[in-house]
Amino acid sequence: MKYLHDIDFSGKSVLLRLDLNTPIDSGKVSDNERILRSLKTIEFLVDKSKRLIIISHLGRPKENNKIQPEYSLKPVAEELSNLINKKVDLAENLSDINETSSFTLLENVRFLEGEKSNNDKLAKTLSSLADIVVFDAFATSHRAHASTSGIISHSKEACAGYLIEEELYSLNKAFSNPKRPLVAAIGGSKVSTKLGLLNSLASKVDLLILGGGIANTCLLSQGKSIGNSLAEESMLQEAKRLSGNKKVIIPDKFMVLTENGIVVEKTTNEIEDTDQIFDVSEIFLRENEDLFQEAETIIWNGPLGMIEDDRFSKGTERLSKIISSSNAFSIIGGGDTIAGAKKANVLDKVGYVSTAGGAFLEFLEGKQLPAISCLENK
């Protein structure tokens, strides 16, 4: 795979695919983290290339070749312009891209018909906009879209940006060739959406700690009471097989909402039929803190409880603090996971924070990421 330092950009035009899918509130970017993580690549290309065209998506608009204001990248263009102190021209469609402009942001690429289906004609058209394609949107690398794997395949020359380089280095360090013990903590609501990940991790890690609805389903598969808690009965067979792995640890203490609306801590043996499990107990995490302190590598994805409710965010916050205080190399990924670490004010103390959700999980599952595969073959 080629990286930025492998290519001479002097006198060349560049098409840069980024993930600028940022939250917008009242016409302004409300969280510019993804833009900030892309700045290193942007500033390098502004300095080294003749002309830069950036493409990105935002949200999930209809593919109808029409501007949909609620999904417009206009606020992103304004934020980016302020951050780099340089005018960013926003092109509403492909025909509006001005060759005299040194810095252009194309409107939401998901407005274009054929983007998600990886339409060959659209991919060729996009890649022909510049001499070189630079792909730096790791969070979209698991999608075979026209603006991801499509533009790389049809490019004359292509390479990865700094963010891709960081992501792959950190993920390989944590998973492909980790220092051991390797401990993984996986939360979230459903076994079904993470079954591939769970099986992959169970075969490679030294310890796998579960939380959220995933833990509930595993408990139910063992014949234990979870009351009226979230679980997937259709996944009991898979959960039972997973629970039988000696590396897998399932919590035995939880924060429970009773029928009377009171939040209490209970062990699995104390849970009644009307109880609802909404978080892992901080006591359970303190009892098992040594597992993280003795680890050399930690992977974490998914909250342990319903973090949007302060009553049930304590487990996730406690886990954030435990991981951040460990001497292990740690990597976390997923929006809710990052939100939990932010809430605990320890995000800056984690070894590496991945920008990706789905791509992060698919990498850990051992799946091929289409855009990364295309970069490796250029």
- Length of the chain equals 378
- Cα torsion at 361, 366, 368, 369 (round to 10°)? 20
Residues of the chain with pLDDT under 50: none
**Nearest-angstrom CA–CA distance, 171 and 178:** 9
Classify domain 4-163 at the CATH class level. alpha beta
Going by C-alpha positions, the residue among 171, 172, 214 that lies closest to residue 355 is: 171
Q: What is the set of active-site residues?
A: 34, 190, 335, 358
| pLDDT for 268 | 95
Instruction: Report the distance separating Cα 210 and Cα 166, nearest Å.
Output: 27
Q: pLDDT tens digit string along 297-343? A: 999 999 999 999 999 999 999 999 999 999 999 999 998 999 999 99
**188 backbone dihedrals φ, ψ, rounded to 5°:** 115, 175
Instruction: Please tell me the CATH superfamily of domain 178-365, with its number.
Output: Phosphoglycerate kinase, N-terminal domain (3.40.50.1260)
Distance CA 9, CA 5 (A): 9
The whole-angstrom separation of Cα 183 and Cα 197 is 14
Tell me how crowded residue 98 is: count the other CB atoms within 10 A of its CB.
10
pLDDT of residue 99: 85
Please, is 260 exposed, middle or buried when counting C-beta atoms within 10 Å of its C-beta (0-12, 13-18, 19+)? exposed
Among all chains, which residue has been given the structure tokens 């984690």?
Answer: 350
Query: What pLDDT is recorded for position 341?
Result: 94
Spans of all domains in the chain = 4-163, 178-365
| Model confidence pTM above 0.85 | yes
Q: Does the fold of domain 178-365 match that of domain 4-163?
A: yes
Contact 324, 293 (CB under 8 A): no
Residue 100 has a pLDDT of: 86
Closest by CA to 296, choosing from 172, 200, 206, 187, is 206
